[in-house]
Amino acid sequence: MKRASAPAAEPSFKGNKQSLPSKPCVACGRPMTWRKRWARTWEQVKYCSEACRRKGDAAATSAIGERR
Ligand SMILES: [Zn+2]
């Protein structure tokens, strides 16, 4: 049985989604749900998106700039 009759995005899999880990984005506070691409870096992921990442980096950079 090698037929792909049951794709990963199966509707019946919906209920299992909540078992995935999640945590809030440090920049915007929105909950991020675990993604497969984060499987290896999940503990290091802090931002939900590139925009938030820049936001966080910008804040850190300006803080450093203040100190000179
Ligand atoms: Zn965010």
Please write the tens of the pLDDT for every residue from 27-47: 999 999 999 999 999 999 999
- According to the model, what pLDDT value does residue 65 have? 60
Question: Does pTM surpass 0.75?
Answer: no
CA of 57 to the centre of ligand 1 (A): 12
Closest CA to 42 of 16, 21, 18: 21
CA of 29 to the centre of ligand 1 (A): 6
Categorize the per-residue pLDDT at 54 as very low, low, confident or very high, splitting at 50, 70 and 90: very high
Residue 61 has pLDDT above 60, yes or no: yes
Residue 50 has pLDDT above 60, yes or no: yes
Q: Token pair for residue 53? A: 């990442």
Closest CA to 34 of 26, 63, 45: 45
As a whole number, mean pLDDT of residues 9-32 equals: 79
